[in-house]
Amino acid sequence: MNKQPKYRQVADVLRREIDNGIYAPGARLPSENDLQQRFDASRNTIRNGLSLLVSEGLITSSQGLGYEVKSHEVFELNATRFENLTFPQNGDAYSTDVTNAGRRPHQTFRVEMLPASKDVAERLKVPAGTKAVLRFCHRYVDDVPWSTQATYYPSWLVEASPRLAEPGDIEEGTTRYLASRGIEQVGYFDEIAARMPTPEEARLLEIGAGVPVMLWTRTGYSVDRPIRCTITTFRGDLNRMNYEIGELSARGENA
């Protein structure tokens, strides 16, 4: 006898019905009250089952509205083209990609100087606590928060390239600006991790329960040392990262 707790049975039944399309993406689930009668269970038990599905990222709940099946459209982000080594364009790639997808980009921007955290200092190969310039970007697509991007530059680099520390945008892109100052990025090292959002991240990206974030850390190198460290935080449900390696003429292009 495979006796599962009642709240798990509730979750299993509803999950299967969602998978089978009985409740399509965007559709509303029956109310807790209805489900109580259907499954002959208390409201707490039903809520336990539903909260399981919420934490799986399958449904969302909103007070006064009910439970809704999530629909997932993902945004493809090309990490190798995002910042082409031969044609650096930096932040522009985001606006271009989003516009090409028929969506409306929007971003806020700020610059500050602060001591580098341990993680950042390690990657920039400077002592922990050393001052670094942070250029921070909060990005939206169609007014939905999409990602945050924090780029740190070591102080030795800022002395040689003062515009990095100025609050304004850098028209030609930072990578190109640095190249014009004789500092060329010749390679980068990417790290990708996934975890549940901190409350701070959940707030900035307006993430509900059951949605992980992806952390994309890119450390850029000149010929002799690291010159920047960019940490991008995405909503995991709305983004997918792509890398193109080697010869891919056989792939063609999607739409």
Partner DNA sequence: TTGCTCAGCTTGTTGGTACAAGCTGATAGG
Partner DNA sequence: CCTATCAGCTTGTACCAACAAGCTGAGCAA
Residues near DNA (CB under 7 A)? 5-8, 29, 31-34, 40-45, 47-48, 61-67
Q: Which residue has the tokens 């002959």?
A: 40
From the list a second copy, DNA, none, pick the one residue 180 interacts with, judged by a Cβ distance below 5 to 8 Å according to partner type.
none
Residue 43 binding result from DNA, a second copy, none, given CB thresholds of 5 to 8 Å by partner type: DNA
For the CA atoms of 173, 88, 193, 147, what is the dihedral angle to 10 degrees?
A: 40
Q: Which does 57 bind (CB under 5 to 8 A by kind): DNA, a second copy, none?
A: a second copy
Decide which of DNA, a second copy, none touches 181; Cβ closer than 5 to 8 Å per partner kind.
none
To the nearest whole angstrom, how small is the minimum distance from the Cβ of residue 174 to a second copy? Answer: 17
**Token representation of residue 33:** 């009250």
Residues in 63-92 that interact with a second copy by CB under 8 A: 74, 76, 79-80, 85
65 binds, among a second copy, DNA, none (CB under 5 to 8 A by kind): DNA
Residue with tokens 């049975």: 9
CB nearer to a second copy: give 11 or 133: 11
Kindly tell me which residue out of 14, 157, 188, 207 binds a second copy, with binding defined by CB under 8 A: 188
Which DSSP category does 165 fall into? G
Q: Could you give the CA distance from residue 250 to residue 245 in angstroms, rounded to a whole number?
A: 13
How far, in Å, CA of 220 to CA of 150, rounded? 13
Burial 156-171 (b: 16+ CB within 10 A, else e): ebbeebeebbeeeebe
The β-bridge relationship of strands 213-221 and 105-115 is: unpaired
- How far apart are CB 3 and DNA at their closest, in Å? 7
The phi, psi pair for 96, rounded to 5°, reads: -60, -50
Closest approach of a second copy to the CB of residue 137, in Å: 21
The total number of residues written for the chain in this structure: 255
The token duo for 58 is 């399958």
DSSP-derived 3-state class of residue 4: coil
Binding mask 189-218 for a second copy (x = CB under 8 A): xxxxxxxxxxx---------xxxxxx----
Q: Cβ(204)–Cβ(213) under 8 Å?
A: no
For residue 182, what are the contacts with CB-CB under 8 A and spacing of at least 6?
160
- Minimum distance from residue 66 beta carbon to DNA (Å): 4
Site string for a second copy, 231-250 (x = CB under 8 A): -----xx-xxxxxxxxxxxx
Contact 216, 79 (CB under 8 A): yes
Q: Which is nearer to a second copy, 156 or 189 (CB)?
A: 189
Judged by beta carbon distances under 5 to 8 A according to partner kind, the member of DNA, a second copy, none in contact with residue 25 is: none
In the list a second copy, DNA, none, the entry touching 237 (Cβ below 5 to 8 angstroms by class) is: a second copy
Q: Which residues bind a second copy (CB under 8 A)?
A: 12, 15, 55-57, 74, 76, 79-80, 85, 185-199, 209-214, 219, 221-226, 236-237, 239-251
